[in-house]
Amino acid sequence: MPWNLRRDRQSLPNPVISLLLVLTAGLVLLPVAIAVWTSLQPPGAVLGLDEGDRALTLANYQQAWRQGQFWLAFANSTLVAIATCLGQLITSALAGYALARLRFRGRQALLVAVVTTLAIPFQVLVIPVFLVLKWGQLIDTYWALILPAAASSFGIFLMRQHFVSQPLALEEAACLDGANRLQVLWYIVLPLARPALATLFLFTFIGEWNDLFKPLIFTTRPELRTVQLALAQFQEQFTSNWPLLMAAVTMATLPMLLLFVLVQRQLTRGISTTGLKN
């Protein structure tokens, strides 16, 4: 770290840094707090139309869960997100390890191609993906929501960078003991890559849970509705009932917050140990 950056960091006292962090956290959590507070209000209280009891209530959550059929949407989103995460973990680990450790002709060109595809948004590829899914008769199935995201250039690049940072001596020692390449990957490399795998799992799960584009394009059956699609349709029905809408939004956000709390430590380790090494 340059001397001037160290001097600037040391010039700030710890109470000032703590205050800045608290203020930043407050700004981030303020919209969440407003949404939760609004969801606990009786109908019409936000607009000043309710003249009765203003006590906080959980009735909005019960009504939103029942009328929006979120139980089915939660089951669909959980199934799609977990299946997609497993697909990305498998494909990213295998492809990332091959790009990090195997020596073959065209490896650098393939790595450049993987990194280049990071700049291509999925919306650009939606027409060819739709035609492939239609050719395979997968439209209006769970596979239409899982297969297009089962492999990710971001996941491959993330795992490749983590594998490069691992010490090669451990793998060489395992090979000297008679382990083959798959055994080295399963017993040595992947256990050490748990932080990176947890990071990839969290990013993929959040992306799939928040995805509205694929369910909107690839599915039409009501029984395949995901959380975001159900939330969009629920918003169309109750455009003026803000407590009910905020209850639905809070329910849709809660699983991601719980997942982040569970894997927060692994996420921090995964980000810190995944560097940009050649």
* Tokens describing residue 48: 């000043």
Give the model's pLDDT for residue 48: 46
Give the model's pLDDT for residue 2: 47
Classify residue 189 by its DSSP letter. I
Identify whether the C-beta of residue 40 lies closer than 8 Å to the C-beta of residue 60.
yes
- SS3 state at 41: coil
Say whether pTM exceeds 0.85.
Answer: no
**170: CB partners within 8 A, 6+ apart:** 188, 192
Backbone angles phi, psi at 105, to 5 degrees: -65, 130
pLDDT one-digit tens code per residue, 238-272 = 777 888 899 999 999 888 888 888 877 766 666 66
Q: What is the CA radius of gyration of the chain?
A: 24
Give all domains of the chain, ordered by start, each with its CATH number. Answer: 64-273 (1.10.3720.10)
Task: Using the predicted structure, report yes or no on whether residue 13 has a pLDDT greater than 90.
Answer: no
Give the model's pLDDT for residue 274: 56
* Closest by Cα among 241, 88, 246, 61 to 157: 88
Confidence of residue 112 (pLDDT cuts 50, 70, 90): very high
Through-space distance between the first and last CA atoms of the chain, rounded to whole angstroms: 21
Comparison of pLDDT for 271 and 208, the residue scoring more: 208
